Homo-oligomer: A and B are copies of this chain.
Amino acid sequence: MLPRKIADSTVRRLAIYLRFLEEFEDQGRDTVSSEALAHRAGTTSAQVRKDLSFFGSFGKRGLGYDVHALGIRLREILGLGRRYRVLIVGAGRLAGALVQYAGFSARGFEVVAVVDRDPDKIGTAWGEIVIEGVAQLEEIVVREQVEIAILVTPADPAQGLVDRLVQAGVTAVLNFAPVQLHVPEGVDVKNVNLAVELETLSYALAHRVHA
C-alpha cells in the first residue's frame, strides 16, 4: 500500500469498483472478472487491471477476482477501514442533504457537528445534531476530534474559514464553495462545483454536431 504517486483518476475508479463489488457481493457472486467490473464502471478491462496492479496482484488467472477479498483490499487501500469524524461548515440546504445522505455514514463518514453564522439557525436541531455558532469552530474541532471538514458556504468567507480549520488541526477539506482555497502543504482539499458540472453539459450541447 506504498506506491509513490497514484493518479487521482485511479483512486476515483477504485472507489467506483468498490461500489460494484459490494453489489456483486450482495448478489452472492463470489468471483468477478476485470471485464465485468469494467462494464459496470464504464471503463475497460485493461484499465481495471492496471489500476489494481499499482497495489498488488489480487486476481487469479483464468478465474478473475474474489469479490469478498478484493472488497477488503480496496477498503484498506482507500482508507475506509475506520470511521472519520466530519464537521460541516454552513447549514444551508445542501448541508442538510449531506447530513442526511446515507452514502456517507455507510462508508464511515460520520457528521459530528454542523456550524453556521446565522443566529436564527444556531441552536436548532437537525436530527441528532444541534447547529452551533461558527465562533465555536476551533473548540468543536478539538472537542469532536474532527478530521475532515466539508465547506458548504458562499465563496466569500471560505478562505477565512479554511484558515481557521487548518489552524485548529483539520487536514482534509471537501470544498463546495466556488473558490480556489490556498492551504499549507500537508492539507488536502477536494473541490466540488455543481455549476461547473452543468456548464460542461451546456458546452456539450452547444458544440454538438447538429443533425
Q: Which residues of A contact B (CB under 8 A)?
A: 1, 6, 8, 11-12, 14-16, 18-19, 40-42, 77-80, 84, 92-94, 96-98, 100-101, 103-104, 107-109, 147-148, 171-174, 178, 180, 186, 188, 190, 192-208, 211
Which residues on B sit within 8 Å (CB–CB) of A197?
174, 190, 192
Known: A84-B202, A172-B204, A192-B197. 7 other contacts (CB 8 A): A79-B205, A80-B199, A98-B194, A109-B202, A172-B202, A173-B201, A186-B208
Taken together as a complex, chains A and B put the C-alpha atoms of A96 and B194 apart, in Å, by 14
- Taking a contact as CB atoms under 8 Å apart, the answer to whether B12 and A194 are in contact is no
Identical subunits present: 2
Cβ-neighbour of A147 out of B15, B42, B205 (below 8 A): B205
Taken together as a complex, chains A and B put the C-alpha atoms of A193 and B41 apart, in Å, by 13
- Taking a contact as CB atoms under 8 Å apart, the answer to whether A200 and B11 are in contact is yes
